[in-house]
Amino acid sequence: MSAPPDSVLAAQPPPAHQRLSNAGTLPRFVLLIVLFVGIAAVITASLVEAHTDPNGARVGCGLAAGGDPGLSDLDVRFRIVDQQSAFEDCVDRFVPAQPWWWKPAALLLVSVCAAALYWALPRWKGRRSRVVPVEQVDGHADLVSTLAELVTVAGLRRPPRFVIAPAVPTSGAVVFGRLRRYTVCLDGGLVARRHRAPEGFRAVVLHELAHLRNRDVDITYATVALWRILLWVVVPLDLAYIAAVSLPSTAGSSMATREQSRVAHHVAMLAVTVVLVYLARADILRTREFHADLTARRWGADVRLWETAAGRDATGRAPSNRIAAGRLMASWASLWHTHPSWERRLRSLADPGTVFAPQALPFFLTGATAAIAATRMPALLSLLGIASHWENWVVAVVVAVLVSTITGLLLWPAVTHAALTHGPAPSGLRAGCWLGGGLIVGELAVGRSGSVWDLLPEQAAFLVPPVLAGLAAVWWTTEYAQVSATRPAGVRRRWPLLVGLGVSCLVLALWWHWWEAQGAILAGGFLSFNGDLVGAHEQSLTDGQGYEGPLLALAPGLPVLLALSKRPELLWASGALWVLPLLAWLPRSAGATRPRPVLPAAGTGALCSAVAVVAATAGVRAWSPVVAGREQAHLVSYTMWLMVVVIGVMWLAAGVTAALAERYPLVQALVVAGATGLAGLLTLAALASVDGCVRPLTILASSCQPDPLGGWSLVTLLTPTTLGLGGFLAVAVAALGTLAGRSLRRIRARAGSTPLAGDDSPVPAHLGRLALRRAAVVVPCLLMTATTIAVTVADLRSATRTPAASAALDPVLGAQATSPGVRTAQVEAWRALGGDERGGQVLTVVLGLLHRLDQLAADGSDRVLSDWTLIDAEVRPRCAAISERVAGARRYFRHPDPQGQAAWNALLTRAERAGGDCDLAIGRRDRDGYLTAIRRLVSLGQDVPGMGEAIFR
């Protein structure tokens, strides 16, 4: 066997981080499997529900509640929730009950089909009519020994079964199998040419054995089985149901157009999902080929195989006669191939850094796949019996673990390879932006935050936090890996990897849970259903005193952000983003190095923050002195402005630091922002503790009464918002600062000017006192940790107390115009599902009572008006029945049409009053009250035809 070229061997990566990079394909496969199973769960559940509810009674109950699926999905949900009891009664009565095991059984059937296909694929590929075992081929004894030698080279504990496909003339091979029972199939052409090109034969076989060594065969074929079942069985069933049942059932009805639009959206979403999943699957399969090539090359595979296949000559130069458009088309076409081109495979062998370098496509597809999978998982979790109040956390944790693991294992090997080869580090900002873009595309493809016909949700700004969380997690992971890569030799690097992935997972899980539980609803327009939320928040904060300042009015989203930032988990996550890198820079010896601007910039930011807090305190006192009786409102005004000032200084410091930093811009910006915010809060604590002792800086107190506990309580109140939410949003400021700094440096470089004064090259720590530098690192970390613990303890204590009763905000349902067709469908559903029945019951008892009164008065006597015995026996039961029927009618939905609701409410109110007064007057023997009630019933009977026309038209 000839020795491999020295140039390629020199570029060969160490096995350790090649294995780490190769391990990243596993969570990507797992994410695809979660998505496949989730899609199957959603489709099978919808098919089962359609089978048990062929008439669409559940949809009819939503229409009867007044929901218009054309306006907003959130509008429908709010109308259902607003009449939840009536909706549940409607569903229980008209939607046929289905056996509990139908949905799990349907999903289990899909899983069994996938398992059967997974089991059958190797048998089909290795059928006897197609392949022949190597041992049964005459004259190939040396082939058996050669294959055994290659298995030994690969270090496989359990050798695979080798077969030959004699009818295949090409020079390739393929490995397949299941559960450690694998087969390597050699093409007939490869075996025939093995004597003429022995090194090429060895390279092909070693490549297939590398797949076994990398352990990607089982997960690959499991994904293939699920993908084919989904594409061949589940999706066709869904489309067949739509074509055969869903569309024909609404044809010619008032809901035909709406149903057609809903189906079009569903099919489009399904198509986008299939395309994204196919691209993700193809990218993963291409990646596994690169890693198999690297593994085979490390075992001694001859690179000439790849050179020949790539069409290269002996000098290794490739023809480049394709025009730019042709290269672009080839690049686009390569996205759809499950195998990379031989040219790319050869480049990856010559420069393994191209394999480790993060590409945009994997991050984009990971974000899109994760967003779609998150919307499909609840259906799967409900089948597994997981309680609904845990579903959001389970979805958030599963998706966060997979996304953080995938991105971490894409970025960490790239950073390690760059550090070992002294090459350029990967751009975490770029990778994070692609992940965020994928999240947006995936969420918009599903369309759960808006109506069926809108691409963007009504409040698209609420998409920013989860996207920013993805950007922060990826960008921070990249820079933390770079910081960890500079640790001294001999320091274990596994712990930084685990810690980095853990912090990234925490950030993603927190924000994903927020998005699943609240963000999607807020994006759908939740605030428009809650009236004056800002005014209610002001009244709550000021104990009913109100707030006359402009701050809350200028920031209508502030109540939502304040409620969001109360979670101590966010404070832990934001603190970890800057405390951990700062600890990684802790100088351990006099010769250790540190980045130049971090500590001075943090000190400068802390000083500016302290000065700003003092100035703001003096300004608030001068511009808005305390007024007797409005102390609480003044305190709210003061704390709000101080919070804005501290966060503003934090963001300014973060932006400037990121713009000046050439290395680690995010980490340095977060460290500076964290130190700045911490200093501002500590200054505020000091001022509040000695309130009244320094007259120009007095907040509320009229005399000097030091209160350190009160000052600390004020700080713990503002810490979650400033250091938690403010620190997290500093990531966006750092991104803008980084882009601005790069642009300025690029412009100055073109102009030949000197670079910006942002040199952050490492300098030895012995330039100052080592103990002082250690203290500058440790003290902020300890203060942040102590503050976070205090806030967490305070939150736990408040959670154990009985919450005070608070006035709930009544939903303000939208008054958007509903089309006549949908209004007709709503009224028809309202009538068919109980409106006619309940209205008829009320009218029947009212008219029945009037008819009985006419019968009793037919003899010309007035006994029906004066004989209490007769009245008790004949009239009172009928009056009581009116009240009962009205009570039953009020438990039903409100009338969907405004005019119909006015008539319906008038009918019920008049009947309820007349029936109740009649029963009460009879019980009291009040003849005047009884006669008044009878006259009201007679008047109601006369108005019934007009009311009925408005109600039942």
CA distance 405 to 375: 20
Query: If residue 723 lies in a helix (H) or strand (E), which one and from where to where?
Result: none
Give me the half-sphere count of Cα atoms (radius 13 Å) on the Cβ side of residue 200. 18
Query: Which of 389, 615, 422, 410 lies closest to 513, judged by CA?
Result: 389
Is residue 783 located within the same domain as residue 826? no
- Of 308 and 629, the one with more pLDDT: 308
Q: Is 465 left (phi over 0), alpha (psi -120 to 50) or beta?
A: alpha
Do 447 and 423 belong to one domain?
yes
- Does a structural domain hold residue 291? no
The answer to whether the beta carbons of residues 716 and 684 sit under 8 Å apart is no
Number of other CB atoms surrounding residue 868 within 10 Å: 14
Shared domain check, 182 and 143 = yes
Residue 263 located in a structural domain? no
DSSP state at residue 593: E
Phi and psi torsions of 715, nearest 5°: -65, -45
Question: Same structural domain for residues 724 and 842?
Answer: no
Q: Are 518 and 538 part of one and the same domain?
A: no
What's the chain's length in residues? 953
The pLDDT score that the predictor gives to residue 373 is 92
Q: Would you state the structure tokens that stand for residue 695, as one six-digit string?
A: 């007259």
Give residue 802's pLDDT.
47
C-beta separation of 475 from 666 below 8 A:
yes
Residue with tokens 């007064």: 917
Higher pLDDT, 925 or 141: 925
The full DSSP string for 313-369 is -TT--------HHHHHHHHHHHTT-SS--HHHHHHHHH-THHHHSPPHHHHHHHHHH
Q: Which residues pair with 133 in a beta bridge?
A: 163
**Strand positions, DSSP E, 74-210:** 132-133, 161-165, 173-178, 181-187
Which ranges of 629-702 does DSSP label H, i.e. alpha helix?
631-660, 665-689
Pairing of strands 132-133, 161-165: antiparallel
> Where among 213, 246, 262 does a domain terminate?
213
- 463 in a structural domain: yes
Among the residue ranges 302-316, 850-864, 926-940, the one predicted with the least confidence is: 302-316
pLDDT at 16: 56
Same domain, yes or no, for 392 and 464? yes
Q: What is the mean pLDDT of residues 777-800?
A: 85
In a domain, 337, yes or no: no
Give yes or no: residues 744 and 866 share one domain.
no
- Asked which of 295-299, 323-327, 745-749, 840-844 is least confident by mean pLDDT, the reply is 323-327
Residue 157 located in a structural domain: yes
pLDDT of residue 350 exceeding 80: yes
Domain-located, residue 385:
yes
Is the domain of 645 the same as that of 556? Answer: no
- CA-CA distance, 357 to 427, in Å (whole number)? 10
* Residue 771 sits in the same domain as residue 890: no
Q: How many whole angstroms separate alpha carbon 400 and alpha carbon 509? A: 5
**Where does a domain end: 182, 213, 244?**
213
* Domain CATH for 160: 3.30.2010.10
Average pLDDT over residues 408-423: 85
Are residues 887 and 792 both part of a single domain?
no
Q: Give the Cα separation of 574 and 568 in Å (integer).
A: 10
- Which residue did the predictor score with more confidence, 151 or 455? 151
Task: Give residue-wise pLDDT tens across range 902-928.
Answer: 999 999 999 999 999 999 999 999 999
Arithmetic mean of pLDDT, 562-576 = 81
Angle between helices 388-421 and 360-383 (to 10 degrees): 160
Residue pair 677/574 in contact by the 8 Å Cβ criterion: no
Domain assignment of residue 128, given as a range: 121-213
CA–CA separation, 323 vs 328, rounded Å? Answer: 9
- Written as one letter, the residue type at 163 is V
Q: Write down the pLDDT at residue 414.
A: 87
pLDDT in tens, 506-524: 999 999 999 988 888 888 7
Instruction: Please check whether residue 595 lies inside any domain of the structure.
Output: yes
Considering only residues 603 and 592, tell me which one the structure prediction assigns the higher pLDDT. 603
Q: Are residues 839 and 741 in the same domain?
A: no
Model confidence pLDDT, tens digit, residues 630-671: 566 667 777 888 888 999 999 999 999 999 998 899 999 999
In a domain, 867, yes or no: yes
pLDDT at 137: 81
Instruction: Tell me the pLDDT band of 530, cut-offs 50, 70 and 90.
Output: low
Task: Give the residue from 189, 213, 237 where a domain finishes.
Answer: 213
Q: Do residue 646 and residue 784 come from a single domain? A: yes
Structural domain count, the chain? 5
In the three-class reduction of DSSP (H, G, I as helix; E, B as strand; rest coil), residue 899 is classed as helix
